[in-house]
Chain A
Amino acid sequence: MLILTPSAAAGPLTVPGAPVPIATTSTLVNKLSVKPRLGQWSKVLVGGPNLLPDESTALAVLYPVPNGGQADAFVVQDQGGQNTIDLSQIFVYASIPGDTPMVEAFEYKTI
Chain B
Amino acid sequence: MNRRELFQKVLGTGAAVIAASVLRADAGAFNGPAGGTRGTQLVTILTGPFDTSSQPNGVRALTATPQFATYVRIQANPGQQGKIAIGRSVMATAPGNIADAAFVELWPNWDGTVDNGRSDTWIMSDPQWSNTINLADIYVWPEIAGETPVITAFQLV
The total of interchain contacts (Cβ-Cβ below 8 angstroms) comes to 88
Does A86 have its Cβ within 8 Å of any Cβ on chain B? no
B99: min CB distance to chain A, Å: 8
A30 lies within 8 A of B127 (CB) = yes
Instruction: Find out whether the CB atom of B105 lies under 8 angstroms from the CB atom of A38.
Output: yes
Interface flag for B101 (CB, 8 Å): yes
- Indicate the size class of the contact surface on chain B: 20 to 34
Whether A102 touches B105, Cβ cut-off 8 Å, given contacts A38-B83, A80-B127, is: yes
- Contacts A5-B137, A78-B127 known; A11 to B115 CB distance under 8 Å? no
Which residues of B125-146 are within 8 A (CB) of A? Answer: 126-128, 130, 132-134, 137-138
Interface size of A as a range: 20 to 34
B93 → A minimal CB distance (Å):
14
The answer to whether A70 touches B105, judged by C-beta atoms less than 8 angstroms apart, is no
A11 and B83 in contact, given A65-B107, A69-B114 (Cβ under 8 angstroms)? no
Bound complex: CA of A7 vs CA of B137, how far in Å? 11
A3 touches B105 (CB 8 A): no
Taking CB atoms and an 8 Å cut-off, the chain B residues in 97-120 that contact chain A are: 100-105, 107-108, 114-115, 118, 120
Identify the stretch in A42-50, A55-63, A91-99, A103-111 within 8 Å (CB) of chain B at 4 or more residues. Answer: A103-111
Q: Are A6 and B36 in contact (CB under 8 A)?
A: no
- Find out whether the CB atom of B35 lies under 8 angstroms from the CB atom of A70: no
Residues of A within 8 Å of B107, CB to CB, are: 38, 65, 68-71
Apart from A5-B134, A65-B107, what 5 extra A-B contacts exist at CB < 8 Å? A1-B36, A2-B132, A3-B68, A70-B118, A79-B127
